[in-house]
Amino acid sequence: MARDNKVDDVVILGGGVCGLYAARRLTAEGFSVSVVEKESFLGGLAAGIKIGQNFYDQGVHMLHEHDREIYEDCMAMMGDESVSVELKARIRWQGRFYRYPLQFGDMIKGMPPLTLGRAVAGLFLAQIRNKVAPWEPRNCEEALIQLYGRALYHYFFEDFTHRYWGRHPSRISAMFVKRKMPRLTAVDAIKKLLGHIGLREKGGRAVESALLSETLHYSATGSEALPRCIAERVRKDGARFFTNSSVRSIKVEDGRIRSVNIFNSQTGRRRTLPCKHVISTIPVTTLVDSLRPHVNGDIMDSCNYLQWLPIAIYGLLVKKDKVMDALYTYYRHRVFHRVGEPKNAGLKVTPEGHTVLIVEMTCQEGDEKWTGTDEMRSRVVSDLEKEGICREEDIVEMNLIRNRYAYPVFSLGYEPHYEKLMSCLAGIENLQSIGRQGGFTFPGMHSAMRMGASAADQILNNQMSNK
Ligand SMILES: Cc1cc2nc3c(=O)[nH]c(=O)nc-3n(C[C@H](O)[C@H](O)[C@H](O)COP(=O)(O)OP(=O)(O)OC[C@H]3O[C@@H](n4cnc5c(N)ncnc54)[C@H](O)[C@@H]3O)c2cc1C
């Protein structure tokens, strides 16, 4: 086993945008950094996969401008590779297209009058109940009813949430609504009205949804450009990258990590990386596993309560110049839940006269979507045809891309187990577990990079105060 004589200031586990941005911050300040990535490529979920002559995103990925500091730094690193594009997203619902994020006015237009009456009455009742007798929802179903009322929940959320997450909302934690669910403007409208008559309630909010109108950032090679540009800068600034390398074990002594042991799946070689600090962005459960025997069986049991929802994506090369009006469209009653046409955001597609479609489906590991059975392919093609997107004879390539760790699942009762894991990790002085997988949360790329920057800042500040 190779042992580095060099002691890194920081070893970063995982080369997604969170880990890469932590490396960016640290190397810019002259810190020595090693990044360990299990895949042959960097970028994690944001990496584009090159198949033939085209790049396929793992679900169309565009950078938001919300975090100005990170956005400006990314733009500087990407230079003229960045392409700005106005958000144009749609929801297909009840046979019509609506703007995404869904607006209250659009929703009204799509509802039969009786259902609409029930939905508005339900919303009012829910808001008044929250004000007069506040209550704590026990699961996602109750949290959605609390937020939107019973009628709207049954009409709009119940079935889609069930199909998307592969479990009924009553089996999902209420926390999911706070952390992940986009907020409908309807609630704001009702709250405003209630505010005028002195009935505004506190708390119980879902997260802000995407803005209706905003500029997104992409590239001619798709989402792969952003992580590639960050990695190039970080490499120039002296970072070492260990790709095809997964974390095997982590040595902890006196409450501090001393070294990380990694295994290269291509060469079969093991290597020990001594270090002063570790920033981990790999799934928190994998991290805990590699900390054995430092962690006990009780903590290992808690890992079983933290699950991820995988995603299966068909990257299609289609012999048509353009097939959709929007950048992407959400579908509520198809085998896929979203279809994106990244060419509309500036993706260069080869050969000319062709386009690429990114067809997204959440799934379970090992199911038909995950394995990509012939039957599943036929269902996808058939639904694309039914939606008038493309015909079977236009499809030149149909590539299945999968990611096991797409979405953390806030299953019912996961919270104490999550807390237990996190407080166990907090007991290791020089370790931070962050990002989508390390924090078990749902950031956009900008928020994942912000987590990386903050973790780096914590190390930089410690160093300053120890001088
Ligand atoms: C379908 C989909 C679409 C999305 N679209 C957008 C969008 O348009 N805009 C946006 O801002 N955000 C989007 N996001 C969110 C965005 O992908 C993530 O927030 C961001 O990429 C998370 O980065 P990360 O570095 O925290 O995690 P990851 O990208 O998951 O990185 C973790 C890395 O750790 C590596 N790793 C795992 N285990 C090990 C191990 N044992 N050893 C070494 N390495 C390991 C993985 O290979 C991976 O590279 C989307 C997410 C999904 C699922």
Q: pLDDT digit string (tens) for 394-428?
A: 999 999 999 999 999 999 999 999 999 999 999 99
Q: Which residues contact 197 (CB under 8 A, 6 or more apart)?
A: none
Q: At residue 204, does pLDDT exceed 50? A: no
How many Å lie between the centroid of ligand 1 and the Cα of residue 46?
6
Ligand 1 nearest-atom number relative to CA 43: 49
For ligand 1, whether the C-beta of 158 sits within 6 Å is: no
Q: Which of 165, 196, 227 is the last residue of a domain?
A: 196
Q: Is 168 exposed, middle or buried (0-12, 13-18, 19+ CB in 10 A)?
A: middle
How many Å lie between the centroid of ligand 1 and the Cα of residue 445?
8
SS3 assignment, position 183:
coil
Ligand 1 nearest-atom number relative to CA 19: 25
For ligand 1, whether the C-beta of 34 sits within 6 Å is: no
Q: Which of 409, 438, 458 is the last residue of a domain?
A: 409
How many Å lie between the centroid of ligand 1 and the Cα of residue 253?
30
Q: At residue 22, does pLDDT exceed 90? A: yes
Question: What is the C-alpha to C-alpha distance for residues 261 and 119, in angstroms, rounded to an integer?
Answer: 56
Whether residues 391 and 323 share a domain: the answer is: yes
Position 53 in a domain: no
For ligand 1, whether the C-beta of 281 sits within 6 Å is: yes
Q: Which of 181, 196, 211 is the last residue of a domain?
A: 196
Ligand 1 nearest-atom number relative to CA 42: 49
Measured at the CA of 455, the angle between CA 66 and CA 7, to 5 degrees, comes to 140
Q: Is 222 exposed, middle or buried (0-12, 13-18, 19+ CB in 10 A)?
A: buried
SS3 assignment, position 270:
strand
For ligand 1, whether the C-beta of 65 sits within 6 Å is: no
Ligand 1 nearest-atom number relative to CA 442: 19
Q: At residue 206, does pLDDT exceed 80? A: no
Question: What is the C-alpha to C-alpha distance for residues 59 and 35, in angstroms, rounded to an integer?
Answer: 24
Q: What CATH number is attached to the domain comprising 282?
A: 3.50.50.60
Position 6 in a domain: yes
Question: What digits encode the pLDDT tens for the residues 48-89?
Answer: 999 999 999 999 999 999 999 999 999 999 999 999 999 999
Half-sphere exposure of 332 (CA within 13 A, CB side): 18
The structural domain count of the chain equals: 3
What is the rounded average pLDDT of the residues 231-238? 98
Ligand 1 atom 22 nearest Cα: 436
Q: At residue 193, does pLDDT exceed 80? A: no
Position 30 in a domain: yes
Q: At residue 208, does pLDDT exceed 80? A: no
Whether residues 383 and 428 share a domain: the answer is: no
Whether residues 120 and 130 share a domain: the answer is: yes
Measured at the CA of 235, the angle between CA 229 and CA 240, to 5 degrees, comes to 135
What is the rounded average pLDDT of the residues 197-213? 52
How much is the pLDDT for 186? 56
For ligand 1, whether the C-beta of 230 sits within 6 Å is: no
Q: Which residues contact 376 (CB under 8 A, 6 or more apart)?
A: 335, 368, 369
Q: Is 380 exposed, middle or buried (0-12, 13-18, 19+ CB in 10 A)?
A: buried
For ligand 1, whether the C-beta of 310 sits within 6 Å is: no
What is the rounded average pLDDT of the residues 338-352? 98
Task: Tell me which residue range forms the domain holding 127.
Answer: 102-196
Q: Which of 360, 445, 447 to mutate to test the pocket of ligand 1 (most atoms within 8 A of CB)?
A: 445
How many Å lie between the centroid of ligand 1 and the Cα of residue 16?
5
How many Å lie between the centroid of ligand 1 and the Cα of residue 435?
8
Whether residues 296 and 160 share a domain: the answer is: no
For ligand 1, whether the C-beta of 455 sits within 6 Å is: no
How many Å lie between the centroid of ligand 1 and the Cα of residue 388?
31
Ligand 1 atom 13 nearest Cα: 444
This prediction has a pTM of: 0.93
Backbone angles phi, psi at 182, to 5 degrees: -65, 150
Ligand 1 atom 20 nearest Cα: 445
